[in-house]
């Protein structure tokens, strides 16, 4: 489920024609009994965009008693291979609009706190750390896919400028180290 047609198209392409996947246009406000019952609901870097308390209340009625929610995220460990990230973050900061609570805001309430006050209060974290190839064009695409630095936020000139800045500063980029984690929330 996603509210944007582009994300649903990307998901369909990644699914490669698997028959038992249903793609639904909608948001967390569209979660309801008509979607069915689930053993596991997975969210990839999206929970922070939702009214998290409301979403968990809605999911409480859709997830089986022994079911769970898995929130996927990735981060970059502070290792030498990720030294380029400081330059990249500085570039992005010059273009990002700053308004409202965000995960880097000191007033942001972490997902764990929201989950601990929900019907899904038994938390487990799983993760893997790996080295990945990364070239500058992939980094430009990643940057432009983020909400705060998307072409719709930056406009044509801003999009061209941020892409040029990244290419100029990080043209020799070849790898990154990523920690991919899942925060799994079960009923107690």
How confident is the model over 74-132, as pLDDT tens digits?
A: 999 999 999 999 999 999 999 986 554 455 678 889 999 999 999 999 999 999 999 99
Structural domain for 110, as ranges = 31-186
In-domain check, residue 167:
yes
In-domain check, residue 37:
yes
Which pLDDT belongs to residue 107? 85
Provide the 3-class DSSP secondary structure of residue 153.
helix
Residues 152-182: pLDDT tens digits?
889 999 999 999 999 999 999 999 999 999 9
Which pLDDT belongs to residue 101? 45
In-domain check, residue 13:
no
- DSSP E strand stretches across the chain: 38-44, 63-75, 122-133, 175-186
In-domain check, residue 62:
yes
Residue 146 pLDDT > 50: yes
**Do residues 177 and 131 touch, judged by C-beta distance below 8 A?**
yes
Length of the chain: 188
Cβ contacts of residue 50 below 8 Å, gap of 6+?
27, 28
Separation CA 168–CA 126 (nearest Å): 36
In-domain check, residue 180:
yes
In-domain check, residue 40:
yes
In-domain check, residue 17:
no
Residue that has been written with the tokens 């990154």 in this structure? 176
For residue 119, report the phi and psi dihedrals to the nearest 5 degrees.
-65, -10
**Considering its fold, how many domains does the chain have in total?**
1
Residues 14-23: pLDDT tens digits?
898 888 888 9
Provide the 3-class DSSP secondary structure of residue 41.
strand
In-domain check, residue 172:
yes
Residue that has been written with the tokens 């432009």 in this structure? 144
Query: Which position has the higher pLDDT, 188 or 99?
Result: 188
% helix, strand, coil for the chain, step of 5: 45, 25, 30
């Amino acid at each position: 489920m996603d509210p944007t047609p582009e994300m649903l198209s990307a998901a369909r392409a990644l699914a490669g024609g698997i028959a038992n996947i249903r793609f639904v246009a909608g948001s967390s406000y569209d979660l309801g009994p008509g979607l069915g019952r689930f053993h596991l609901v997975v969210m990839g870097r999206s929970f922070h965009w939702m009214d998290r308390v409301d979403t968990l209340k809605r999911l409480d009625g859709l997830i089986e008693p022994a079911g769970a929610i898995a929130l996927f995220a990735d981060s970059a460990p502070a290792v030498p291979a990720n030294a380029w990230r400081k330059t990249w973050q500085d570039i992005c900061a010059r273009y990002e609009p700053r308004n409202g609570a965000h995960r880097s805001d000191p007033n942001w309430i972490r997902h764990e706190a929201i989950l601990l006050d929900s019907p899904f209060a038994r938390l487990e974290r799983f993760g893997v750390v790996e080295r990945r190839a990364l070239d500058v064009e992939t980094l430009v695409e990643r940057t432009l896919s983020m909400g705060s630095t998307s072409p719709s936020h930056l406009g044509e000139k801003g999009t061209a400028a941020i892409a040029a800045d990244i290419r100029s500063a990080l043209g020799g980029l070849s790898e990154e180290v990523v920690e991919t984690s899942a925060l799994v929330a079960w009923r107690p």
